[in-house]
Structure 1
Amino acid sequence: MYPGELIPVGDVSLHVRRLGEPVPGRPPLVVLHGGPSWDHSYLLPGLVPLARSGEVIAFDMRGCGRSTRDLPAERYQPDLVVEDTLRLIDALGHDTVDLLGFSTGGQVAQLFVEAHPARVRRLVLASTTAYGDVSEHLADWPEYERRTATVTDPPADCTDLQWTVHDARSGAVTAIWDLGRVDDYLRLLDGVRFTGDWLAPWRRGLLRPWRPADPARTLREWGGPVLILHGEQDMGFPLPLAERLRDAVPGSVLAVIPAAGHMAHFENPALWAGHVAVFLGPRRSQARLADLG
């Protein structure tokens, strides 16, 4: 339904999917998925409605989905994903883009802004963090403790791919807030092309930082518009982390999806996409701020 293409970008080729149509005077929205050993398809519940208002470019990072796989361990680095993204933007003929990073991809987006500030017009940080003290905000959260008590460990002899799949599926109870939709969420995961390529360098301690040393300072010095988009009940990166970043970056906007967890784009795609569309500016559709509810 949404065909993709392989685009060479240096030492790898990226599987790219383009949704929607360009809007005159507005750059496309480039999307960085999370995981990282997932593909971009789990974001489609939010990206498809978003594409009704403009062009969206999603792709699988190196080692993910249908992009180049089985690289040497040292070729899996967050900063290399940044350079892949820059080469992709160049290959598609764009001087500037709007950038959306989800979860781990949101941290890569902060690295991108640090390395190539002139190439980004607007930045969306969705279900992500600029800070490392995540566990402090999960401590003494009774509902989080209740849910994680049901999460099982993967088999000791599993492959990296099996570990990734098990982690994603068993973690469904903390990924979304509405437990009545777990089966729907698992069906979404059935369509994800998981890999285990990023696990080996992570276990060996080879990965360089996923985000800048001082993300808030990076965003302040960049000075562009920032939308921080977060589920009210996010158990991956709890809401206080998003509120802290909002307070640290003057002019940033925090939009909270009520009664939604880490996968807020799945639990309330219309509201999620609506916030992004309004933030990006004039668009083809006639939706109003009031339509966001």
Structure 2
Amino acid sequence: MDGARIVSLRDVDLFVREMGTDGTSPPLVVLHGGPDWDHTYLLPGLEPIARRRRVVMFDKRGCGRSTRGLGPDGYQPELVVEDLFELIHFLGHEVVDLLGFSTGGQVAQLFVEAHPRKVRRLVLASTTAYGDVAPYLLGWPEYERRLEMSVAQPAWARRRSGEEDDVGRTVQWALEAAPTALWNLSRLDDYLQLLERMTFSGEWGRPFLMGRLHAWRPASPEQVLRDFGRPTLVLHGAYDMTFPVQVARRLCAAVPNSSLNVIDQAGHMAHFERPGEWSSAVLDFLGAERPEERGA
């Protein structure tokens, strides 16, 4: 079952997509990153999960097909936290499993700080609890080589760049980051096709450039996750050039109730490069059977 609808909350309308079948387990609710992206770039990793679990995705405020035009004060991480809390209530769930990817993983930490009883199990994918990631990247020859690479602007990107300055800026950032988003550069064209299907926005970029965004993470993420106390999976690509794998190892060592799964031969977009391993890691952690375990 794959259904999409607009859900009206207190001050925003959210575009919500639900995939998979209903069951006894809590649904897996997903917080995408970007932040000016929509949820669709995560589908390569989430579609296999939806064959065994109910998956709920939504475009954050200002993103995709959700409400835009809220002004600089309408975009703050804590507002996404409350949107998610209201959405869970609207959908009628007492508790959910929560997956946060990249920036969404940092918001997920804020969510369990504010509403720990709403989450049964937490997946932090390709994200960080720390701001000091640069030391792990300095002196990495392959990273420095990737920074010098340029991606030819596809026709779809040129069209979007001419539509609206803020959207064009987001598209340009995505293209510039593409060589460091992947580890396997032979998948670069496929990745650009994935980006082509997305709906970009520029709403979050405005307060960011104005220096008005609040912190994406709790003040003490390690303590928040220790206090949360429930099973937490730290899921990371071995060659992540956005948040290097060292930050994942560091967090897992600091949080007793966490486990670490490192996806080999994958970068920041591990769900795209290695969707089978990535989705199986999530399903195993959540306690669901994989397709091959049922002879599928």
TM over 0.5: same fold? Answer: yes
Amino acid corresponding to residue 202 of structure 2 in structure 1: G
- Secondary structure (helix, strand or coil) at the match of 2:51 reads helix
> Could you tell me which residue of structure 2 aligns to residue 83 of structure 1?
82
| Alignment of structure 1 residues 171-186 onto 2, 5 Å | 171-186=177-192
> Could you tell me which residue of structure 2 aligns to residue 59 of structure 1?
58
Which 4+ stretches in 1 moved above 4 angstroms? 283-286
Alpha-carbon distance in structure 2 between the residues aligned to 1:222 and 1:236: 26
- 2:27 maps to 1:21: no
- Secondary structure (helix, strand or coil) at the match of 1:169 reads helix
Amino acid corresponding to residue 21 of structure 2 in structure 1: E
CA contact (8 A) 1:231 1:256 kept: yes
- Secondary structure (helix, strand or coil) at the match of 1:7 reads strand
> Could you tell me which residue of structure 1 aligns to residue 226 of structure 2?
220
Amino acid corresponding to residue 179 of structure 2 in structure 1: V
> Could you tell me which residue of structure 2 aligns to residue 120 of structure 1?
119
- Secondary structure (helix, strand or coil) at the match of 1:53 reads coil
Shift in CA distance, 93/182, structure 1 to aligned 2, threshold 3 Å: same
CA contact (8 A) 1:65 1:195 kept: yes
- From 284, 287, 293, the counterpart of 1:278: 284
Shift in CA distance, 2/187, structure 1 to aligned 2, threshold 3 Å: farther
Alpha-carbon distance in structure 1 between the residues aligned to 2:69 and 2:107: 21
> Could you tell me which residue of structure 2 aligns to residue 147 of structure 1?
146
> Could you tell me which residue of structure 1 aligns to residue 198 of structure 2?
192
CA contact (8 A) 2:53 2:288 kept: no
Amino acid corresponding to residue 222 of structure 1 in structure 2: F
- Residues 229-262 of structure 1 show CA distances to partners (whole Å, capped at 9, x for unaligned) of 0000000100000000000001211001000000
Quote how far apart the aligned CAs of 1:277 are.
0.4
- 2:108 maps to 1:109: yes
Alpha-carbon distance in structure 1 between the residues aligned to 2:136 and 2:188: 24
Alpha-carbon distance in structure 2 between the residues aligned to 1:35 and 1:235: 15
Alpha-carbon distance in structure 2 between the residues aligned to 1:265 and 1:277: 13
CA contact (8 A) 1:38 1:193 kept: yes
CA contact (8 A) 2:226 2:257 kept: no
Alpha-carbon distance in structure 1 between the residues aligned to 2:290 and 2:211: 46
Quote how far apart the aligned CAs of 1:286 are.
6.0
- Secondary structure (helix, strand or coil) at the match of 1:180 reads helix
The root-mean-square deviation of aligned C-alpha atoms, in Å, is 2.1
Quote how far apart the aligned CAs of 1:287 are.
2.9
> Could you tell me which residue of structure 1 aligns to residue 94 of structure 2?
95
> Could you tell me which residue of structure 1 aligns to residue 12 of structure 2?
12
CA contact (8 A) 2:3 2:19 kept: no
Alpha-carbon distance in structure 2 between the residues aligned to 1:287 and 1:185: 30
CA contact (8 A) 2:60 2:80 kept: yes
Quote how far apart the aligned CAs of 1:27 are.
0.4
- Secondary structure (helix, strand or coil) at the match of 2:261 reads strand
Unaligned runs of 5+ in 2: none
> Could you tell me which residue of structure 2 aligns to residue 208 of structure 1?
214
> Could you tell me which residue of structure 1 aligns to residue 243 of structure 2?
237
- Secondary structure (helix, strand or coil) at the match of 1:287 reads helix
- Residues 3-54 of structure 1 show CA distances to partners (whole Å, capped at 9, x for unaligned) of 4210011100100000101221x10000000000000000000000011111
Query: What TM-score results when the alignment is normalised by the length of structure 2?
Result: 0.93
CA contact (8 A) 1:54 1:283 kept: no
Alpha-carbon distance in structure 2 between the residues aligned to 1:258 and 1:187: 23
- Secondary structure (helix, strand or coil) at the match of 1:83 reads helix
